[in-house]
Amino acid sequence: MKLERPSLPKPEWLKVSFRLGANQEVATLMDQLGLHTVCREANCPNLSHCYARKTATFMILGKFCSRNCPFCNVHFARPEPVDPEEPAHVAEAAARLHLRYVVLTSVTRDDLPDGGTGQFVAVITALRRKDPSLRIEVLVPDFQGEEMALQAVLAAGSHVLNHNVETVEELYARVRPAASYSRSLTLLRRAKEYALQQSSPLLLKMGLMLGLGETEEQLRRLFADLVETGCDILTLGQYLQPSPAHLPVEAYLSPEDFEHYRQLALQAGLRSVVAGPLVRSSYEADQVFSQVVEG
Amino acid sequence: MKTLRLPPIAPEMKEVILVAWLCEEGEVFHRGEVIYEVETHKSVCQVEADQDGKLLRQLVEEGDCVQVGSELAEIESLPHEA
């Protein structure tokens, strides 16, 4: 079978290096412990780079997602039962990789009564028990707007609450049909309110894909909305089509385009903006956190 | 003589497109040098040599769809130059 070529040729700036064996240690560890990473499940183009740095983004609650978003590489299928060993295994993997900063995400589990909150809390607790000095970033789904779910995750203690709004409001019906722009913004707003009530130094982070047909004016409105929620960190990266069955790329933005939007977002009032064709929401998250905290 | 095979570049992809050879037949390559490029759905991967060697014969052409594990080239190992 001939692999179908994408409609748009890939630009020079989407070239990445691949060194045989560089991925092996992290990949083997994850397999041994029965863990998943979003790096692998989403075919992230930075996998080789990040695994070679001995880092990865843990994806908990199984490898199958209960939502079928047309931009996402993660498999849509009937989700698996929650693994009670997963919290201990994530903590074990973090220790064996000598991670000082852990990024934790999950598939969306609309099928679970608690939306997967309990497992987030269990994993965070296991990580903190194993190493109280760990910095933890959680990249969460919208929990269908359940405020208690969000509060439970925040109460477990993390340093960064990351949530991907993914695209501008005008494209939600096409890109995130099972999600809601206002619900995602409300999640960020509530997280900031919670942090203020608790006098917590929690940072809010949000990720966005470009190249889906959004306009500059729509992005300006989105940046203003984010500032209003109290969002601290924004990541901007190129949307990459996972397969011909997924949404097509409307445009490949150049590194200069990304710098332009980075400047616009900073001017809008965001504290830190990481932008580039290969930037993903958890890409080099440890370094981004350090830069923000240390100024 | 050894066979150069396509490694699993992107974990969930069983096949990719070989878009360019950066090492010609008869040419010597060194560990860390890019010897070919393949296109996955999300990027173009520049695959680095993991040893020193000489490329004897290319077994696939640019533009070919290649399965993970399949033969790409015949190579000869050379002692590593420090």
Residue B10 to residue B47: CA distance in whole angstroms: 12
Per-residue pLDDT tens for A52-111?
889 999 999 999 999 888 999 898 999 999 999 999 999 999 999 999 999 999 999 999
* Element holding A82 (H helix, E strand): none
Nearest residue of chain A to residue B13 (CA atoms): A43
> What's the Cα-to-Cα distance from B52 to each of A215, B31, B55, B58, B69, rounded to whole Å?
48, 5, 10, 17, 20
Find, among B17, B19, B20, B36, the residue nearest to B75 by Cα: B36
A residues 227-256 closer than 8 Å to B (CB):
240-243
Per-residue pLDDT tens for A99-148?
999 999 999 999 999 999 999 999 999 999 999 999 999 999 999 999 99
Residue A249: other Cβ atoms inside 10 A: 21
Q: Residue A222: pLDDT above 80?
A: yes
Q: Residue A3: pLDDT above 60?
A: no
Q: Which residues pair with A136 in a beta bridge?
A: A102
In the sheet where A101-106 sits, what is the strand order? A57-60, A101-106, A135-139, A160-166, A203-210, A233-238, A272-275
Cβ distance of A16 and B13 shorter than 8 Å: no
Residue A55: other Cβ atoms inside 10 A: 23
Residue A40 to residue A57: CA distance in whole angstroms: 9
Residue A125 to residue A131: CA distance in whole angstroms: 10
* φ, ψ for residue A250, nearest 5 deg: -85, -30
Mean pLDDT over the full length of chain B = 92
**Interface predicted TM-score (ipTM) of this complex, two decimals:** 0.89
DSSP conformational letter for B64: -
Give chain B positions within 8 Å (CB) of A240: 41-43
Mean pLDDT of A218-225: 98
A30 interfaces chain B, CB cutoff of 8 Å? no
Nearest residue of chain B to residue A16 (CA atoms): B45
A44 interfaces chain B, CB cutoff of 8 Å? yes
CB-nearest to B45 from A18, A27, A243 is A18
Give chain B positions within 8 Å (CB) of A76: none
Nearest residue of chain A to residue B4 (CA atoms): A20
Residue A39 to residue A178: CA distance in whole angstroms: 23
For strands A272-275 and A233-238, give the pairing: parallel
Q: How confident is the model at residue A1 (pLDDT cuts 50, 70, 90)?
A: very low
CB-nearest to A242 from B42, B46, B50 is B42
Which amino acid is present at A173? A
Cβ distance of B41 and A1 shorter than 8 Å: no
For strands A160-166 and B71-77, give the pairing: unpaired
Cβ distance of B43 and A6 shorter than 8 Å: no
Residue A215: other Cβ atoms inside 10 A: 11
B26 interfaces chain A, CB cutoff of 8 Å? no
Q: Which residues pair with A60 in a beta bridge?
A: A106
Find, among A152, A127, A129, the residue nearest to A137 by Cα: A127
Nearest residue of chain A to residue B14 (CA atoms): A3
DSSP conformational letter for A231: -
Q: Tokens at residue A136, please? A: 């933890």
Among B6, B29, B41, the residue to mutate for chain A (most A Cβ within 10 A): B41
B49: Cβ contacts below 8 Å, ≥ 6 apart: B29, B30, B31, B32, B33, B34, B35
Residue A27 to residue A50: CA distance in whole angstroms: 11
Contact A124, A134 (CB under 8 A): no
Mean pLDDT of A198-222: 96
Cβ distance of B46 and A40 shorter than 8 Å: no
Contact A127, A103 (CB under 8 A): no
Q: Which residues of A146-156 are buried (b: 16+ CB within 10 A; e: fewer)?
A: eeebbbbbbeb
Per-residue pLDDT tens for A224-237?
999 999 999 999 99
Report the percent of chain A where pLDDT is more than 70.
98
CB-nearest to A43 from B11, B39, B65 is B11
Cβ distance of B42 and A240 shorter than 8 Å: yes
Residue B73 to residue B49: CA distance in whole angstroms: 12
Residue A124: other Cβ atoms inside 10 A: 24
Q: How confident is the model at residue A177 (pLDDT cuts 50, 70, 90)?
A: very high
> Tell me, what's the pLDDT at B8?
87
Provide the H-helix boundaries in chain A: 24-33, 38-41, 47-52, 86-96, 117-130, 147-155, 172-175, 181-197, 216-229, 255-268, 285-294
> Tell me, what's the pLDDT at A5?
60
State the Rg of chain B over Cα. Answer: 12
Which amino acid is present at A2? K
B60 interfaces chain A, CB cutoff of 8 Å? no
